[in-house]
């Protein structure tokens, strides 16, 4: 590893990534916690996610490491497992004007 990555840093992964069914295509860091997701829709339910060590994910897929220099409030997305990461600030939720 080239970054000062805390191997045991907590990361939330979706069940698809956890089961190694799909590659990580979306990395986000909304408030300091890392989320590594397959990019598909997920139900907002704890049963859809698992908590793992961040270093374990990098061991599994070294290309993830290139996305792990995100600041708080940023996300990185790629369209396939061998594509470069596109980093951007996480879009703000549209305020409910209803
Ligand atoms: Zn998923």
Tens digits of residue pLDDT in 1-41: 445 678 889 999 999 999 999 999 999 999 888 999 999 99
Residue 13, beta-bridge partner list = 36, 50
- Using the Cα atoms of residue 63, residue 65, residue 71 and residue 74 in order, give the sign of their dihedral: positive
d(CA 57, CA 11): 9
For residue 1, what pLDDT is reported?
A: 42
- CA of 12 from ligand 1 middle (Å) equals 11
- Given a cut of 70, whether residue 69 has pLDDT beyond it is yes
63 pLDDT band (50/70/90 cuts)?
very high
Question: How remote is the CA of residue 94 from the centroid of ligand 1, in Å?
Answer: 24
Ligand 1 centre distance from Cα of residue 39 (Å): 6
pTM, entire model: 0.87
**Closest alpha carbon to 28 in 15, 14, 16:** 14
Q: Is 19 helix (H, G, I), strand (E, B) or coil?
A: coil
Q: Give the model's pLDDT for residue 37.
A: 97
User: What pLDDT score does 4 carry?
Assistant: 61
Q: CB-based burial of residue 50 (10 Å sphere; 0-12 exposed, 13-18 middle, 19+ buried)?
A: middle
pLDDT of residue 3: 52
- Mean pLDDT of all residues in the chain? 91
DSSP 86: E
């Amino acid at each position: 590893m080239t970054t000062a990555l805390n191997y045991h840093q907590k990361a939330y992964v979706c069940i698809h990534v956890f089961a190694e069914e799909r590659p990580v295509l979306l990395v986000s860091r909304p408030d300091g916690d890392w989320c590594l997701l397959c990019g598909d829709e997920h139900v907002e339910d704890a049963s859809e996610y698992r908590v793992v060590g961040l270093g374990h994910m990098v061991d599994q897929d070294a290309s993830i490491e290139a996305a792990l220099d995100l600041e708080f409030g940023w996300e990185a997305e790629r369209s396939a497992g061998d594509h470069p990461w596109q980093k951007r600030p996480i879009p703000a939720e549209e305020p409910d004007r209803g």
